[in-house]
Amino acid sequence: MLAIQKSKSIFVLCTGGTISMQRTGKGYAPSSGHLAAAMEKIPEFSNPDMPNYTLYEYENPIDSANMTPQHWVQIGEHIQKNYEKYDGFVVLHGTDTMAYTASALSFMLENLNKPVIITGSQLPLYETRNDARENLINAILMAGHSRIPEVCIYFNNKLFRGNRSKKLDANSFAAFASPNFPALGKVGTDVVIRHHLARLTTTENFNLQKISEPNIGSVRIFPGISYDMLSHYLRSPLQALVLEAYGFGNAPQDETFLKIIRRAVKENIVIVNCSQCPTAKVKMSAYAAGSALSEAGVISGGDMTAEAALAKLFYLYSKALPISDIKRLLIEDLRGELTV
């Protein structure tokens, strides 16, 4: 249940995304000031049951297809600047790259002790028929009252751990899922928050780890993948790679392919194996086709999403750690992103 405390104050940061967009001749496009105007027309946002909130809209809101690690840092800096002043944070964001941003922030916001709830919608708030109203109202309530000290995604009546989330549907209001970890909360006639699944609070000081933009790559294996192309890609300046392999983490047992992988590992390119199956935990020892990768020095991504693995690599490389520490931390659970 959510215990409503009216004195809570929430910082709502709008980065853009469909929730705040306007219809144009070229389809939905970001537009500043539009969200605030639409919210003013909805009485629920000034209902006394709502926590107090401050809305800050980016002057140049973006479609989240344009998100970059610099934007992650910008969002992190807004949270850092307002960390002491507010009880919780809502980040409004496009759905396309929401899982990446949620994963990145989960690592960057070190010793987070307050809820950071990311939400958006499939239809803009100003449309008569939309999912934005429910998502926004509930995200503000969750930020005020859930007491979950984590980066979460709230979408279509569910609260997910951010770094476990994936966008799985571009059409339905149920756009997100957390295939390898249960939802942290569900909203129906009752609001159920599963505190026993959430991360623990901390007494350590909050810190923002900025991202320095290392050269992180990603390759999805497919039958017929060009080894020539792969060989060119797996070279400096590449520093680390998320290899999306089949099923339990299997890849071709082809000597040319394995040679490229071995050479990359020898050149200190860290390769993390994530499954192409949304619901999966990599177990390279399950098949000879996976064991070969493990023997070549590829690291298991376990049940991490590819989005979380990428964000974790961005984070670990930004901390300028030695490769041996990066490899050790990749298989440790840092923010609930991995089942160990």
Q: Are 103 and 312 in contact (CB under 8 A)?
A: yes
17 binds ligand ASP (CB under 6 A): yes
Choice between 67 and 280, CB closer to ligand ASP = 67
| Cβ at position 5, least distance to ligand ASP in Å | 31
| Cβ at position 244, least distance to ligand ASP in Å | 21
Considering only residues 36-95, where is the footprint of ligand ASP by CB under 6 A?
63-65, 94-95
Report the DSSP beta bridge partners of residue 241.
217, 271
69-82 helix and 98-108 helix, angle to the nearest 10 degrees: 50
| Cβ at position 34, least distance to ligand ASP in Å | 14
DSSP per residue over 173-215, as a string? Answer: S--EE-TTS--SEEESSSEEE-GGGSPPP--SPPEE-------
Question: In angstroms, rounded to a whole number, what is the distance separating the alpha carbons of residues 315 and 212?
Answer: 8
101 binds ligand ASP (CB under 6 A): no
First-last CA distance in the chain: 29
Choice between 46 and 171, CB closer to ligand ASP = 171
Choice between 65 and 320, CB closer to ligand ASP = 65
Catalytic residue among 15, 18, 95, 305: 18
| Cβ at position 154, least distance to ligand ASP in Å | 14
96 binds ligand ASP (CB under 6 A): yes
DSSP per residue over 125-158, as a string? Answer: TTSSS-SHHHHHHHHHHHHHH----SEEEEETTE
305 is catalytic: no
Backbone angles phi, psi at 286, to 5 degrees: -70, -35
| Cβ at position 156, least distance to ligand ASP in Å | 12
Question: In angstroms, rounded to a whole number, what is the distance separating the alpha carbons of residues 311 and 102?
Answer: 9
Q: ω before 149 within 30° of 0 (cis)?
A: no
Q: Are 28 and 22 in contact (CB under 8 A)?
A: yes
| Rg of the chain, C-alpha, whole Å | 21
Nearest to 8, CA basis, from 95, 81, 170, 117? 117
| Interface pattern 107-146 for ligand ASP (x via CB under 6 A) | -------------x-x------------------------
Neighbours of 245 (CB within 10 A): 26
| Interface pattern 148-187 for ligand ASP (x via CB under 6 A) | ----------------------------------------
| Cβ at position 65, least distance to ligand ASP in Å | 5
Choice between 16 and 51, CB closer to ligand ASP = 16
Choice between 11 and 100, CB closer to ligand ASP = 100
| Cβ at position 169, least distance to ligand ASP in Å | 11
Minimal CB distance residue for ligand ASP: 94
Size of the site for ligand ASP (CB under 6 A): 10
Q: Are 198 and 150 in contact (CB under 8 A)?
A: yes
Question: In angstroms, rounded to a whole number, what is the distance separating the alpha carbons of residues 154 and 138?
Answer: 8
Choice between 20 and 305, CB closer to ligand ASP = 20
Choice between 96 and 303, CB closer to ligand ASP = 96
One of 10, 13, 18, 87 touching ligand ASP (CB under 6 A): 18
31 binds ligand ASP (CB under 6 A): no
Report the DSSP beta bridge partners of residue 242.
218, 272
Active site residues: 18
Residues that bind ligand ASP (CB under 6 A): 17-18, 63-65, 94-96, 120, 122
